[in-house]
Amino acid sequence: MENRGLLLIGDKLPEMTVQTTKGMINIPGDFSGKWIVLFSHPADFTPVCTTEFVAFAKRDAEFKKLNAELIGLSIDQVFSHIKWVQWIKENVNVEIPFPVIADDMGKVAGTLGMVHPGKATNTVRAVFIIDPQAVIRLIIYYPQEIGRQIDEVLRALKALQIADTHKVAMPENWPNNELIGSKVINPPPKDVAIAEEVLKKHEGYDWWFTYRELEK
């Protein structure tokens, strides 16, 4: 199994051609101009992974509204993915609309650091959010025993897009922060003159911590 070292936030996702339940695709090339939410699961036909896939599937339209495409992955063969996806539709009545990468040789998982330590045939629950320029913007890892909160992945994607568009920072649990609610944090002043004037223009606790309502 190939492992070329961990990719980090700010790195570009390398071009990879992969087999999926929707046929052969190239990532990120086939998703030019879109955000990608690439997530791995330990194995097909496992209870926690099934609950996660159902949750991702039910939110697929919300991700698409944000110009984002979901892509699943595990170190399983494509026939296993196909049968599991069919099982979910037949037994839970949820159709999986996104492609699932059959990374049976472990090349993608090795490149992205998804392989579970001590369990070389399983991937951890990793999430990579990749922007339209193919830059990795967020990485989250969960152990096998704990299922992800898919709404947090959706929230993080929304927050990244707003931060990019408005050149602001997003507080803890935005848009429901305990201190400033749905407001966003202004970038810090770059010189003394701006620092002395910033509280005249914006709400804040100090010159280094000011915030504002998000522009409509």
Residues assigned a catalytic role = 49
Helices 150-166 and 47-58 pack at an angle, to 10 degrees, of 40
Q: Residue 58 is encoded by which pair of tokens?
A: 């039910």
Q: Give CA angle at 144 (79, 146), nearest 5°.
A: 120
**Backbone φ and ψ of 150, nearest 5°:** -70, -30
Q: Annotate 74-135 with DSSP letters as a single string.
A: ESS-HHHHHHHHHHHHHHH-----S-EEE-TT-HHHHHHT-EETTEEEEE-EEEEEE-TTSB
Q: Quickly count: other Cβ atoms within 10 Å of residue 36's Cβ.
A: 22
